Structure 1
Amino acid sequence: MKGWQYRWFVLDESSGILSYFTSKEKMMRGARRGCVRLKGAVIGIDDEDDSTFTITVDQKTFHFQARDADEREKWIQGLENAILRHSHSQKKQEVKSVPTAADFDRKLSETDAYLQLLIGQVQTLETRIDACEDVSAKEKYSVLKVTAEAMIEAIKHAIVMLQIAKESLKGPVMNGTMHEAVLTTGDDNSNSTSTTVPETSYSSSEDEDFFDAEDFKSTPKTSPDKSTSSSLVTTPSPDGEEEEKRDPPQIIASEDDYFDELYDERDDEGLGSLESHGSIIAHLLSQVRIGMDLTKVVLPTFILERRSLLEMYADFFAHPDLFIKIPDMDTPAERMIQLVRWYMSAFHAGRNSDVAKKPYNPILGETFCCHWSMPDWPKTTDLADDGPVPWSSKENLAFIAEQVSHHPPISAFYAEHYNKRISLDGYIWTKSKFLGLSIGVHMIGQAVVSLIDHDEEYVITFPNGYGRSILTVPWVELGGKVTITCAKTGFSANIDFHTKPFYGGKKHQVTGNVYSPTDKKNAILTFTGEWNGVMYAKHSSGRNEAFVDTKKMAIVKKRVKPLDTQAEFESRKLWEQVTRNLKQKNVEVATEFKHKLEHRQRTEAKERKEKGLKWETKQFHEVGEHWVYDRPLLKRLGKGTPTRTPTDTL
């Protein structure tokens, strides 16, 4: 496909036709290039993009990009008016048919599209209210805002009721394609006038390259250009597309490791479909509002993953060999590329399942400690007893995490390899929001990687996470822009985690570029692929390589102390009864233990407040807006303390 094409558009509301032209002169003559018949059309938007939108009608999807959010809003408003006018005029003539599972899926998608549009409009309205100085105008805007918020709640409940109604269908419920029909292109009607209403929408002439639905069905793997480039006309991809079944990764354990039945035995943690829990989910969603912070919302126990969020952060180092190789690189460029290679390997191991499940919210003061050892690493009995994990050696990669704040929920974590003289000091504040059919988790924070022998520090940010399809079979995707910068060398990396477009596109896509300090336009390395699959890189020299292949990389098992030797507030010990009962499918008992932990936390917080006491952290302290480890390797070696570079968080 050729990408975006500039076109002149004319919306004829009386005839319900959106015509487009290749030039202003042809528009004046009425020689249109194509048109979109708006009767029965559906408008779609993407919550990650404020300028693009789609119109789906007549088994075609047309993609548009406005100059900015305001222009998109004006176009969508005009288009919706035309769609409403012409769709209602034909309502009595439509033949009623029995709704199918595909009809339900389509209606859910349509409803969510309108929901996201309305959310964006309310946000724009809030900005205008804040900027408005006219008191009377401000009151009018406020009335509109209240009405719109009430409509949002109505749409949200409509989504819930549609999903519950879906359960009444007998037989399997599948997430199929939005439209099964084959895309057909009309003849070139460039001499048509914009007032002529065609039988169906058509687009451009035969000499332009389009993505045909038949090609999509017969070609399971398309080229990178076809799957990622933007065009004026495409067909929607299946919203419930089946992903390739992933084999369990190979696990590498240390020779002296032990077997923990609660964590080492891999079993099916899948939720199946949340439709079986329809009444619970419906009740939960009835308690939340669009855009609401979910920090204080108690989620049902059956959607929990059997581990703490602190332990999930440890899985950033599931490939410790890539991390400790960073200081071994000879040049600043090689060190930056190796750091990016490790960073892109860090996310797939954090998901034990393709189904989205939520780790336990850590209790204030909770800690998690572990270390990694590779079979080919040097063996030593020399312990790093002044480090974060006193029982690990100086040839191990040691990790510690602590929940340093409850409101807001902030987790701090630190890792180091003593003999390689490399460390990472970071923190993440998770801010969750309800988005209708999705839950968004903003990962606010940063990490600093210190290469002590090179006197270099690399500041890293994190992508946002999204739990999609929360009413059916939820799945996780990452989205947002990430930066990695080194102030000393000037090398930097920009990484984009792409969320799946509303129509078409693939899941889990990521692209990235690494830049030298002297040229911020031409990258020394570019890569693209799936963050939980294979990523391919191209160097400025022309060399190509498989940059990261998570499907073939073995995960190195972290070494954790046995439960009977752990302290009360270590993660696995603290959540032992919840984990054990979830594993045994005793959800009610697991819920009771979970409630006891949460109740104790609230009681202790109330007592501290009444006594005027402040919570004292164990291993980390706050420096400005950042959280840092008390005894970093840099400080213990007498090299000073790490510097903190302020960064814009996502």
Structure 2
Amino acid sequence: MKNCIGKDLSKIPMPVNFSEPLSMLQRLTEDYEYADILDIAAKMGDPCEQLAYVAAFTISAYSTTSDRTGKPFNPLLGETYECDRRDDLGWRAINEQVSHHPPMVAQYCEGKQWNCWQEFTMSTKFRGKYLQVIPLGMAHVEFTNSGNRYSWRKVTTTVHNIIVGKLWVDQHGDMEIIGKGKAAGIKCHLKYIPYSYFTRDSQRRVKGVVMDKSGKVKWIVNGTWDQQVEIAKVTGNTGTPSNPIYETGASIVAWKRRPPPEDCEKFYNFTLLAAQLNEPEPGVAPTDSRLRPDQRLMEEGEWDKANQEKLRLEEKQRAARRQKESEAELAAAEGRPYDSYKPIWFEQTKEDNSDVVHHVYKGTYWNCKEKQDWSMCPDIF
């Protein structure tokens, strides 16, 4: 580990012993554990109140990190993960690893009255005692009945005691949730307060405000990212512009964490949803994370075999990349165009008036699943 200090850990192969038997694609699907908050938000006529519920949803995505210290498996290029929970939870998601260097996941999730999509990429800083994960991609939600759209970027995650002691995780930094479309102009500012030995306040605290188009505070958001979040409507301000003291109506519990399953410490501190994510399912794409052999062997306790499979898969991926690079060099030497890697289920596009590349879901995955037509899927396992 000491040889890794100062390096980007996403490029360093790790044995499965550091991991939990889920891939990053599956871990990101856990963001929707409390998607019922978005169902409530969809019914709100006031965009500021709606944004307060969206803020609670973004905070809920961190609830499982308080006692989960296992590293998810790095997905292979072209790896996918689908999760269709429309029958019981009302949503379905499709994820794809669209880039390997830098590692990037594109995700699209459909609810009853909302659609969510995100690109997750990150930079890591390993400093010996702690590891910092800084997310770089953006997440978005759009409510189909109103056209209100909101965008945000996740905050920094720090894993402490990497070398010695018990691992523990903290979230810290500022998050801006920006209204777009019909909600343009309103925003929410959330502050994740870092852990401190010297505070009398509760740890893992998050506090924030929702502001209307004129910058006036309309809602207060308060809580902890591992337990619950309350929202309250502002009714007045008895302070000064530089030191406001807000009066609020009754607090509403916008999100409360469900208690974890009994004995969950025996299975990586998984929630019920997390434990269900790797359940084998017929009819999924051949690139689905559940079919990944090293991850499956690890789940079954075959650690040595899992590490051997992991090395085989990584070497197979490197060989495929070398082949692509030699094909590109040959095409350049012969002066003909060469198509670089293109994702299967997402399309690379540039944002209006900028060079920022983002990935848009093509909308074809579920139709192909219905027909069981996986002819376009690469052989990655």
TM-score, length basis structure 1 = 0.46
Question: Is 2:192 aligned against 1:508?
Answer: no
Aligned counterparts of 1:496 and 1:323: Cα–Cα separation in 2: 21
Q: Check the 8 A contact 1:309/1:359 in 2, yes or no.
A: yes
More helix, by proportion: 1
Question: Is 2:289 aligned against 1:611?
Answer: no
Q: Which has the higher contact order (CA 8 A, sep 6+)?
A: 2
Change in Cα spacing, 1:556 to 1:492, as seen in structure 2 (3 Å) is farther
Count of residues paired in the alignment: 322
1:426 shift after superposition: 1.2
Q: Check the 8 A contact 1:310/1:402 in 2, yes or no.
A: yes
Counterpart of 1:445 in 2: which secondary structure? Answer: coil
Change in Cα spacing, 1:564 to 1:593, as seen in structure 2 (3 Å) is farther
1:509 shift after superposition: 2.1
Counterpart of 2:358 in 1: which secondary structure? Answer: strand
Map of 1:548 onto structure 2: 255
Map of 2:79 onto structure 1: 366
Aligned counterparts of 1:563 and 1:455: Cα–Cα separation in 2: 34
Aligned counterparts of 1:444 and 1:583: Cα–Cα separation in 2: 30
Larger mean CA deviation between 488-497 and 604-613 belongs to 488-497
Map of 2:288 onto structure 1: 570
1:335 shift after superposition: 1.7
Question: Is 2:186 aligned against 1:491?
Answer: yes
Q: Check the 8 A contact 2:108/2:116 in 1, yes or no.
A: yes
Change in Cα spacing, 1:434 to 1:561, as seen in structure 2 (3 Å) is closer
Aligned counterparts of 2:288 and 2:168: Cα–Cα separation in 1: 29
Aligned counterparts of 1:320 and 1:537: Cα–Cα separation in 2: 17
Q: Check the 8 A contact 1:371/1:560 in 2, yes or no.
A: no
Q: Check the 8 A contact 1:372/1:559 in 2, yes or no.
A: no
Q: Check the 8 A contact 1:578/1:591 in 2, yes or no.
A: yes
1:492 shift after superposition: 0.8
The amino acid of 2:36's aligned partner reads: D
1:355 shift after superposition: 4.3
Aligned counterparts of 2:303 and 2:272: Cα–Cα separation in 1: 31
Question: Is 2:174 aligned against 1:481?
Answer: yes
Question: Is 2:296 aligned against 1:296?
Answer: no
User: Which blocks of at least 5 consecutive residues in structure 2 are unaligned?
Assistant: 236-247, 262-270, 329-338, 351-355, 365-381
Map of 1:590 onto structure 2: 306
**Counterpart pick for 2:43 among 317, 324, 328:** 328
Structure with bigger gyration radius:
1
Q: Deviation string for 1:533-561 (max 9, x for gaps)?
A: 12333321322233322145997846778
Aligned counterparts of 1:587 and 1:550: Cα–Cα separation in 2: 32
1:241-256 correspondence runs (5 A) = none
Q: Check the 8 A contact 1:372/1:556 in 2, yes or no.
A: no
1:628 shift after superposition: 2.7
The amino acid of 1:412's aligned partner reads: A
The amino acid of 2:319's aligned partner reads: T
Aligned counterparts of 1:462 and 1:444: Cα–Cα separation in 2: 8
Aligned counterparts of 2:186 and 2:326: Cα–Cα separation in 1: 50
Map of 2:96 onto structure 1: 402
Aligned counterparts of 2:87 and 2:286: Cα–Cα separation in 1: 29
Map of 1:412 onto structure 2: 106
Aligned counterparts of 1:334 and 1:626: Cα–Cα separation in 2: 32
Aligned counterparts of 2:128 and 2:300: Cα–Cα separation in 1: 32
1:453-468 correspondence runs (5 A) = 453-468=145-160
1:426-445 correspondence runs (5 A) = 426-445=118-137
The amino acid of 2:358's aligned partner reads: W
1:288 shift after superposition: 2.0
Aligned counterparts of 1:603 and 1:310: Cα–Cα separation in 2: 23
Map of 2:376 onto structure 1: none
Map of 1:356 onto structure 2: 69
Counterpart of 2:316 in 1: which secondary structure? Answer: helix
Q: Check the 8 A contact 2:37/2:255 in 1, yes or no.
A: no
User: Which blocks of at least 5 consecutive residues in structure 1 are unaligned?
Assistant: 1-283, 378-395, 634-650
Counterpart of 1:473 in 2: which secondary structure? Answer: coil
The amino acid of 2:25's aligned partner reads: L
The amino acid of 2:362's aligned partner reads: R
1:99-118 correspondence runs (5 A) = none
Aligned counterparts of 2:41 and 2:178: Cα–Cα separation in 1: 15
Q: Deviation string for 1:590-627 (max 9, x for gaps)?
A: 11111111111111001000001511211112222242
More strand, by proportion: 2
Q: Deviation string for 1:308-354 (max 9, x for gaps)?
A: 000011111112222233222122122212222222222214x4x71
Change in Cα spacing, 1:528 to 1:444, as seen in structure 2 (3 Å) is same
Change in Cα spacing, 1:427 to 1:531, as seen in structure 2 (3 Å) is same
Q: Check the 8 A contact 1:355/1:474 in 2, yes or no.
A: no
Question: Is 2:328 aligned against 1:631?
Answer: no
CA RMSD of aligned residues (A): 2.6
Map of 1:518 onto structure 2: 214
Aligned counterparts of 1:590 and 1:629: Cα–Cα separation in 2: 34
Q: Deviation string for 1:371-411 (max 9, x for gaps)?
A: 22465x8xxxxxxxxxxxxxxxxxx4110111000000111
TM-score, length basis structure 2 = 0.77
The amino acid of 2:56's aligned partner reads: R
Q: Check the 8 A contact 1:537/1:545 in 2, yes or no.
A: yes
Counterpart of 1:565 in 2: which secondary structure? Answer: coil
